[in-house]
Amino acid sequence: YVDLATRYGYTAVPGLAGDTISWSYSEQAGTDFYGVTQNNSPLLTDDGIVLFAEYGGTPHLNQKLPDANQPNGLYAAYWRDMEIVYDAAANRGVTAVTFGNNQLWLVEFDDLQAYNNPTTTLDMEIMVWRASNPTAGSYDLYYAFDNVHVADTVGTIGVEDPTGTVATQFAYNDFTPTDGLVICLDYVGPTPTVLRFDAVVDAFAAAQDVVNVVSHQTDNPGSKTATAEAALHIESSAHLFISASTSGTVDNLRYRDEDILAYNLATGRWSMLFDGSDVGLGSNDINALHVADNGTIYLSVASTSRMYRPPGYVGPGTLYNTNIYAFVPTTLGWETAGTFELIFDGSDVGLDRNTENIDALALGEDGSIVISTLGTATVRGHNGAPLWAKDQDLLLFTPTTLGEETTGSWQLRFDGTAAGLREPDEDIWGVWLNQDALYLTTRGDFVVDGLRGGGGDILLCDAAPCAFTKALEGSAIGLAHERIDGFSFGPLPALVTAARAVPSNEEMTDEANDEIGDDLLDDNDSALEIRSYLPLVVH
């Protein structure tokens, strides 16, 4: 701030005072304003603005910048309803001078006063280089403040072009100047910095726009936080897909344990995604699944059995419970049709015992496969050494080849015991991956990290070491007395036919694998091998 009277002996213009007034000085003509030389002299006003356009509209009412309503084409040093009071003895009023052979002009307001409020006053200067400098950081315009006695935040600070469509706004009714503050403006801004960010969308997120805001605060007296933002639109197509451990009814929809249901997270309605009996699974139970975005369903079954082959069936004659199959649909919903393909042959990579029945399944974005098994599994790790995993654990398989000749390597993905899953009912029955986050379901009731729940609830392990939260309460979506065999999240595949609800009183035949016990081991987490011994009779 340059005190013109003290430093150079310049004093206020005699008699210049009042409210809603404007005036000009010829020395200020020829100023470069938004790339155009203004041959006319700018208008100075009592309301803290300098105009290169018509003095119209309601200049005593400060506006946001830009605003197409008049006044436009202005410097707003501190735009609010003010008035000029002239006092020669106190050098109170307005002083206008030029420096450097008219290259720089300066207007000083001494004790500019809020209209009809003598307690709100400040000293303010507007300093303008007549010719703008094309170099970034060589400022073209300055607003400086001193002796500020302002207790509110009313006012606009910035600069606006003559059309009222382009502007730089520093403040609008949210800032109070302080003594010694200098605001520097430059027509040539710095090179923009591009900030990129990744967004991880929660599986339960509703349709919405999420705005990411970046804030920057300059470590300088009187500086103001600058922000930039980017919006991310989240689609509303998210669904939860589940297979249940028994037959039942939800939302007036009848289902069996070989079916896969879809729950719309936005509307809260259930529908049929995969009718297992249509494609030969009526005598079996899906106990692990992953639904891909393209509609392909990866699944494993509870028991090894020959397939009932309906007309048009294409797939293996027998499904093994240590294998993973891909169901490639032609239609989904109540009229499910498609083909089965062997994707993962567990017997090729060490899964060949009853305890190694796959009962949880998820596919990683990198093509890896995450599973849990019914009991303890013994496989080979990276170095060929034995790797043991209990039914509370997750194994990660990195494939080299898949299909009839499955090869690859195993490693432990998640140690359930270390995370607090220790009881028989806390065996993992379902898993879904969201980058590093694990979503899990258990065989039955669990108590972990102070949380209590059951087999219809979904747990979230968000980081390592695992800190559990309950991601979904089964009772809230109609699964209070059900256990989730397998689950997945994603958009509803386009191949789904219109869902219809089957009345709950409609006859529905129980099938051989509709009992929850088909998926369970004994309470000691060991497989029961039943052997019958007949006496040897010798004649």
Find out whether 449 and 420 touch, Cβ atoms under 8 Å: yes
Q: Where in the chain is the domain with CATH 2.110.10?
A: 238-519
84 Cβ contact list (under 8 Å, min separation 6) = 16, 17, 18, 19, 21, 46, 93, 94, 109, 112, 113
- Whole-number pLDDT of residue 202: 67
Instruction: State which fold the 238-519 domain adopts.
Output: Hemopexin (2.110.10)
Question: SS3 for 118?
Answer: strand
* Under 8 Å between Cβ of 318 and 306: yes
Q: pLDDT (tens digit, 9 = 90+) per residue, 367-397? A: 999 999 999 999 998 888 999 999 999 999 9
* Range among 201-215, 236-250, 506-520 rated most confident: 236-250
Predicted local distance difference test score (pLDDT) of residue 397: 98
* pLDDT at 515 > cutoff 80: no
Averaged pLDDT of the chain: 87
- How many residues are recorded in the chain? 539
pLDDT confidence of 190, banded at 50, 70, 90? low
Per-residue pLDDT, 388: 95
Mean pLDDT to the nearest integer, 413-438:
94
Half-sphere exposure of 341 (CA within 13 A, CB side): 10
Can you give the pLDDT at residue 14?
Answer: 95
For 141, phi and psi rounded to 5 degrees? -150, 140
pLDDT of 529 > 70? The answer is no
Share of the chain above pLDDT 70, in %: 88
Tell me the two tokens of residue 462: 């968000």
